[in-house]
Structure 1
Amino acid sequence: MSTSPKQADKTKVSGVILVDKPQGMTSQQVVSKVKYLFKSPSHDSKKAGHTGTLDPMATGLLPICMGEATKFSHYQLDADKSYEAVILLGGQTDTGDADGKIVEQAAIPTFGTALLEQVAQQFSGAQQQIPPMYSALKKDGKKLYEYARAGIEVERASRDIVIKAIDLKAIDHEQIQLTVTCTKGTYVRVLGEDIAKALGTLGHLTALRRTQVGDFNIDNAIALPDLEALALDSRQEQLMPVDACINIDAEMILTTEQCTRIHMGQRLNVFEQLTDDIKAYIAGNIDSESLENNEVAVNVNQQFISETDDSEQLTDTKPLKHEIPVDIRLINEDGQFLGLGAVSLNGRLQPKKLIQR
């Protein structure tokens, strides 16, 4: 009796592919399409995800992580992103873009280059932004857009964002070209609405295109029809390495014995392998916020002890600087990427996220 090949016997598709998302598709629909295009009797492409949602109306760069690369997708989720958008003045929609319906209109004032530069300066830098109702953020287990579709508006907490670069140029008397680089969590739809209000009118986006995510650029992305036109082997060639999302340069070479041990989940003493460069990297990346948080925890704990039992002595649990771990790339003696570990100045290395080969 013959048996079909087990799923475990299939080659797992792993890597990062940059896709130019078309208008009208959701980000998840693009992921599903890519998974289908990499699927074959000998290839498992079930595990995949994108690194930041784009609205259905939006086009542009959508990095998709497949297989083992999904373990490192958060580095691009947290990365800065760049967009190009068109703001149509004179009307506000319920969604903030052209997919919604007009809910309010206003006259469009005359504006010139000087005013646009002034408004751009006004929106540059650190600020707070209230997420739109038409978003996938959740409140009490339901997505905000579910409330919005039911005609319910719920209170949303403002979020800290940073506009790293912004440029506004007039297309005509009612349209503005917006180019922006911003931190994660920024809603360009809301930014467009706020810019219109700063000009004394209302507005919404009629076009939105993402051009950059971290170090990934739209120039290196492939359109879905072009990917579909390729043979499977050629599609595989479009995949970047599994560690493409990781923005860490520092690496540590492990011996064969050490590789075996970390794959067993064991911690290592690598003090003798800490070069001056690695030590400088660790020292430069120690999270000061972690120190502050631990200080707060210790202070609270000390206060609790003093209020409950003055005779009990509390040991200060604040980690010392040389104990604080920092992520580092791990490679074997053949130069193959193994995954990420957390290493501290005292030489302790803890395996963190390792890939399977």
Structure 2
Amino acid sequence: MHRKINGVLLLDKPLGFSSNQAVQRVKRILSAAKCGHTGTLDPMATGLLPLCLGEATKFSSTLLTANKTYETTLKLGYLSTTGDAEGEIRPLLTQIARPTLAHCEDVLSKFIGHIQQIPPMYSALKYQGKPLYAYARKGTEIDRPARTVHIHEIRVDALHADELKLSIRCGTGTYIRTLAEDIGKALGCGSAYLLELRRTAIDNFDISHAQTLASLNETAIDQLDRLVLPIDCLLQKYPAITLDDMNAQHLIQGRIIQPLLSDTLAASEHNTVRLYSHRQHLLGLGEIMPDRKIVAKRLLANSELFGTAI
């Protein structure tokens, strides 16, 4: 029997699971009526996968544009058809000059900031209604325009022979497999592929607070709900407004409201705000209009029944 559970569960996705498989497994463990993820993590990758339960699925897109942090190991001097260890792999050079730590750090510094990337063929990007990986599996190459992505930080964690371990913090849309290939080329190794990839952070969420499937299976059913974070943990970047009963009721009824707003908030660069009742129950998101009125943007169903403190 499915239960109505509302909130966010941080999962440490295991190797070999697709994001959808992880969703279905957690949904079954928690007996949750509704569950979805906040952005795909490849089967060969492990690490942080925030899962939205119930009403939280309405706000899952808030993490799609968030910064992400990864730990990865690159195999230098090799080319993989998929950019990772799951593809067909071949060496590029019979004799490769092993890069020094100093050379790696010098080259990697050139990748910081805005860079251009060509999305890999083995990706979920659509072309004429089909994902690129569907064409790649048939041996068809599709021209892909370069995209601008932002790399905030790349740190060398270790260098052993032809294996380079990195920590990377990057903006949305970054393909770590493509970044690995480009780094391999820039180091003079011809290319590189991902031996392993682990996502350790998304926005303010950290892997240290994530649950494994094993730990969830070992947790008593009456204790599982304690692991679920409140819905508004997804919305902390938006300013909060507390409404009186009348404005809260009007908002739920679909009316435009005009609560008292501070000059600072009215002039804020954020026109999206978190809305709470005076009992500190989350109602949803609203949008501040130029005339300082607020219109509902996305509300929880039966708002007063689904709430969490600020």
Please report the TM-score for the alignment, with normalisation by the length of structure 2: 0.93
Residues 85-113 of structure 1, C-alpha deviations (whole Å, 9 max, x = no match): 00011210100000111155224212112
Higher helix share: 1
Of residues 323, 334, 341 in structure 1, which corresponds to 2:286? Answer: 341
Of residues 204, 215, 221 in structure 2, which corresponds to 1:226? Answer: 215
Aligned ranges 1:194-233 → 2 under 5 Å? 194-201=182-189, 202-233=191-222
Task: Compute the displacement of 1:34 (Å).
Answer: 0.8
Aligned ranges 1:53-92 → 2 under 5 Å? 53-92=40-79
Of residues 170, 184, 188 in structure 1, which corresponds to 2:176? Answer: 188
The aligned residue for residue 150 of structure 1 is 138
- The CA distance in 1 between the partners of 2:99 and 2:272, in whole Å, is 49
Q: Is residue 101 from structure 1 mapped to residue 88 from structure 2 by the alignment? A: yes
The aligned residue for residue 274 of structure 1 is 261
Q: Is residue 28 from structure 1 mapped to residue 17 from structure 2 by the alignment? A: no
Whether the 8 Å contact between 1:113 and 1:169 is mirrored in structure 2 is no
Task: Compute the displacement of 1:143 (Å).
Answer: 0.8
- The CA distance in 2 between the partners of 1:235 and 1:157, in whole Å, is 45
The aligned residue for residue 268 of structure 2 is 284
Of residues 224, 230, 244 in structure 2, which corresponds to 1:255? Answer: 244
Whether the 8 Å contact between 1:97 and 1:206 is mirrored in structure 2 is yes
Task: Compute the displacement of 1:345 (Å).
Answer: 4.7
Percent identity of the aligned residues?
Answer: 41
The aligned residue for residue 120 of structure 2 is 132
- The CA distance in 1 between the partners of 2:254 and 2:145, in whole Å, is 40
Go from structure 1 to structure 2 and tell me whether the alpha carbon gap of 1:244 and 1:330 turns closer, same or farther (over 3 Å shift): same
Task: Compute the displacement of 1:351 (Å).
Answer: 0.7
- The CA distance in 2 between the partners of 1:11 and 1:343, in whole Å, is 35
Q: Is residue 173 from structure 1 mapped to residue 118 from structure 2 by the alignment? A: no
Compute the RMSD of aligned alpha carbons.
1.5
The aligned residue for residue 114 of structure 1 is 102
Whether the 8 Å contact between 1:248 and 1:329 is mirrored in structure 2 is no
The alignment partner of 1:244 has SS state of helix
Go from structure 1 to structure 2 and tell me whether the alpha carbon gap of 1:11 and 1:25 turns closer, same or farther (over 3 Å shift): closer
- The aligned length equals 300
Residues 158-209 of structure 1, C-alpha deviations (whole Å, 9 max, x = no match): 1110000111344311100111000011011111111111111121110100
Whether the 8 Å contact between 1:57 and 1:99 is mirrored in structure 2 is yes
- The CA distance in 2 between the partners of 1:124 and 1:146, in whole Å, is 32
- The CA distance in 2 between the partners of 1:26 and 1:267, in whole Å, is 42
> Which segment drifts farther, 63-72 or 96-105?
96-105
The alignment partner of 2:232 has SS state of coil
The alignment partner of 1:346 has SS state of coil
Structure 1 residues without counterparts, runs of 5 or longer: 1-6, 40-44, 287-325
Task: Compute the displacement of 1:254 (Å).
Answer: 1.3
- The CA distance in 2 between the partners of 1:108 and 1:182, in whole Å, is 29
